[in-house]
Amino acid sequence: MKLIRSPFFYVGDKFKLLPQLLDNFPKDINIFIEPFCGGGSVFLNTNAREYLLNDIDYYMISLHKYISSFCNNKEDFFRNLIGIINKYKLSASFIGQLTPCEYKERFKKTYYAEYNKNCYYRMRDDFNNDKNNLILLYLLLIYGFNRMLRFNSKGEFNLPVGNVDFNYNVKNALDDYLNSLETKKVCFYNHDFETFICDINYNEDDFIYLDPPYLISSCEYNKMWNINHEERLLNLLDDLNNKNVRFAISNVIYHRNNHNDIFEEWSKKYNVVNIKSNYINYHDNTEKNSVEVLVKNYN
């Protein structure tokens, strides 16, 4: 099966681990429920009759809603996108707008960033003056450093320009996303996980997959996650288990000398599957500096 890459290129997404995760998912899913859907790598590659997708990140969910609204109108979407790329005079290899040779010669490793930076900062100012302009936000994500959604304390998008381009990988990911959303029945929500999980009436063939922030690894969205969140989530999962709702949760039990004792202790009640993660220690591949798991309450 061809795996679909999310067009949000979300930091910490589950794309590389998908084959192992999907192998462990139930085969018959009525409603697929994701309280921490992020860029959507997992739901895009899961078969179900319906999808309930949530994330606390307002702009991430707004982008999902905005881009998926074009799934029956892809030509308009790409026409708008190209119109804005041309308006700001950004480079875009997917439409043959390449960085001029003199930039490539002068800035051998940073020519995309050097060429696009003035246009990018103009686009960033325009978005910060009108935060409903989601197509600008998507382009800021694509041309931004490490492709992240990052806002300062005043609520302004503040990611610097990246050394990247709108290339065929982005175009293909958008095509795949729009085609997939055309066939899926999805609903997006923007709540804290507890409100989202508690608002659903579950049936026995529904399935919840959870990929929460990890207590012991560093990432922009992990900074807000603390022991209270972790305990609140694990208690909720015990409640769901008592109601015979199927779930599987990803987590990291050990990472760079940090141990998540709370999660490890809790997981002993369920089926723990070891996942081969990306964080192999290349100096000594017999020893991993991270232990990633998928914990399921079914066989």
Ligand X SMILES: C[S@@+](CC[C@H](N)C(=O)[O-])C[C@H]1O[C@@H](n2cnc3c(N)ncnc32)[C@H](O)[C@@H]1O
Q: Which stretch binds ligand X (CB under 6 A): 24-32, 53-61, 77-85, 142-150?
A: 53-61
Residue of 29, 42, 139, 186 that binds ligand X (CB under 6 A): 42
Q: Which stretch binds ligand X (CB under 6 A): 37-45, 166-174, 239-247, 273-281?
A: 37-45
State how far the Cα of 171 lies from the Cα of 156, in Å rounded to an integer: 27
Of these, 57, 165, 230, 292, which contacts ligand X (CB under 6 A)? Answer: 57
* 41 is an interface residue for ligand X by CB under 6 A: yes
- The answer to whether the beta carbons of residues 88 and 133 sit under 8 Å apart is no
Binding mask 206-245 for ligand X (x = CB under 6 A): -----xxx-------x--xx---x----------------
* Residue in the shown chain whose Cβ atom is closest to ligand X: 38
Which lies closer to ligand X via its Cβ, residue 42 or residue 85? 42
Specify the DSSP class assigned to residue 214: P
Instruction: Give the whole-angstrom CA distance, residue 99 versus residue 95.
Output: 12
Question: From CA 60, how far away is CA 182, in angstroms rounded?
Answer: 19
Find out whether 115 and 98 touch, Cβ atoms under 8 Å: no
- Residue pair 25/44 in contact by the 8 Å Cβ criterion: no
Spatial contact of 178 and 186, defined as CB atoms under 8 Å apart: no
Pairing state between β 271-275 and 290-296 = antiparallel
Site for ligand X in 9-28 (CB under 6 A): 10, 12-14
What is the contact surface with ligand X in residues (CB under 6 A)?
Answer: 10, 12-14, 35-36, 38-39, 41-42, 55-57, 192-193, 211-213, 221, 224-225, 229
